[in-house]
Amino acid sequence: MNNIFKKYSTIMLFDVETSGLSPFYDEIIEFAGVFITSSGIENEISELIKLNKHSRLDSKIIELTGITDNDLMRKGISHLEIANKIKDNLKGDVLLIAHNAQFDIQFLLELFKETKNTLSNFDVLDTLTILKDRKEFPHKLSDAIVYYGLQDLVSNSHRAIDDVKATYAVLLKMDEELADIDKYINLLGFNPKYSLTTRLPNVKYVAQPYGSNIKLYNK
């Protein structure tokens, strides 16, 4: 991935845990990001975030993440604090990397909008899109960990920093497997059974049905 490292001033691989599925109604409750160079991980952020839109977490979110209302009250920082912390680490041309990037980036953009920050000049790389092009269903991060034999090294714990480091390990294995990672920048696959409600700027969306034998970047 050396050509990618040379192109961008900042590469942030990140993950969010949220209070629900809607970036407009729900909110980020945990953020983790690692900042990557050709030497590996250079810096990282891992923070719980206080609730702002809701008074308490749904019991299903607590069960899934292990994060409680008390955790957020005692250890969480404000929306403005986390937005500023992220913004301070994003310099120049930015590449954002996540597993199911559409979901995470929408929440990030809403956070920035709410706190009157802006995020511009960013490109997108989605490891989920790459995984769907290479492996049979299913395609969760936990499945990618198994596909690439990383079970003893990383885990999909539904805690943001663990999931970020797992995604990074998967990405490195993907790059070893086939040197076409750069072709997926600003290319997102979507399930044609479901309509796209929002689109990220500068991103090309291509229908990606299961079982296709044509690489998405060739469609």
The string of pLDDT tens digits covering residues 190-204 is 998 888 889 999 999
User: In total, how many domains does the chain have?
Assistant: 1
- Identify the pLDDT of residue 213: 85
The tens digit of pLDDT for each residue in 69-118 reads 999 999 999 999 999 999 999 999 999 999 999 999 999 999 999 999 98
Q: Is this model's pTM higher than 0.95 or not?
A: yes
Q: What is the pLDDT of residue 210?
A: 82
Q: What is the pLDDT of residues 166-176, one digit of tens each?
A: 999 999 999 99
Cβ atoms of 120 and 37 closer than 8 Å:
no
| Residues 6 or more apart whose Cβ sits within 8 Å of residue 179 | none
Q: Which of 1-5, 55-59, 84-88, 91-95 has the lowest mean pLDDT?
A: 1-5
**Closest C-alpha to 108, from 214, 2, 12, 35:** 12
Domain interval for residue 131 = 2-218
CATH code of residue 90? 3.30.420.10
Q: What residues have CB less than 8 Å from 86, skipping those under 6 apart?
A: 12, 31, 33, 45, 108
pLDDT of residue 3: 86
- In 10 A of CB 70, how many CB atoms? 8
**Selection from 99, 125, 141, 127 nearest residue 4 by Cα:** 125
pLDDT digits (tens, 9 = 90+) for 114-159: 999 988 889 999 999 999 999 999 999 999 999 999 999 999 988 9
Contact 89, 43 (CB under 8 A): yes
